[in-house]
Amino acid sequence: MAADIQYVSDLAGNTVSVLVPIEVWRDIEAERETAYVLSTEAMRRRLADARSRDTGIPFEEALKMLGLTEALDA
């Protein structure tokens, strides 16, 4: 996959951009999102709490609570 990465240079030969396959970019974005979520103790605690929940509400009920019942009709 690394062979698919392309570097773009200006006229002086300075690398100014990089072209990467979309799969690589999505991996990079996912890693950045994970780093953000885990960047503070409060966020880590919220994630841990969410992962440990074993109850929830049906999707349709959540839409109603958010006032998005028109999404049910679509």
Residue 48 resides in a domain:
yes
Indicate whether this model's pTM tops 0.85.
no
Q: Where does 1-74 show beta strands of DSSP type E? A: 6-9, 15-19
Show the domain range for 60: 22-73
| pLDDT class of 1 with cuts at 50, 70, 90 | low
Domain count along the chain: 1
Return the percentage of the chain with pLDDT > 90, whole number. 47
Residue 57 resides in a domain:
yes
Residue 6 resides in a domain:
no
- Is residue 15 within 8 Å of residue 23, measured between CB atoms? no
> Roughly what angle, to the nearest 10 degrees, separates helices 22-37 and 41-52?
100
Tell me the pLDDT tens digit for each residue of 38-74: 899 998 998 889 889 888 888 889 888 998 887 666 6
Residue 2 resides in a domain:
no
Residue 59 resides in a domain:
yes
Q: What is the mean pLDDT of residues 25-45?
A: 92
| pLDDT class of 32 with cuts at 50, 70, 90 | very high
Q: Note the pLDDT of residue 56.
A: 85
Residue 66 resides in a domain:
yes
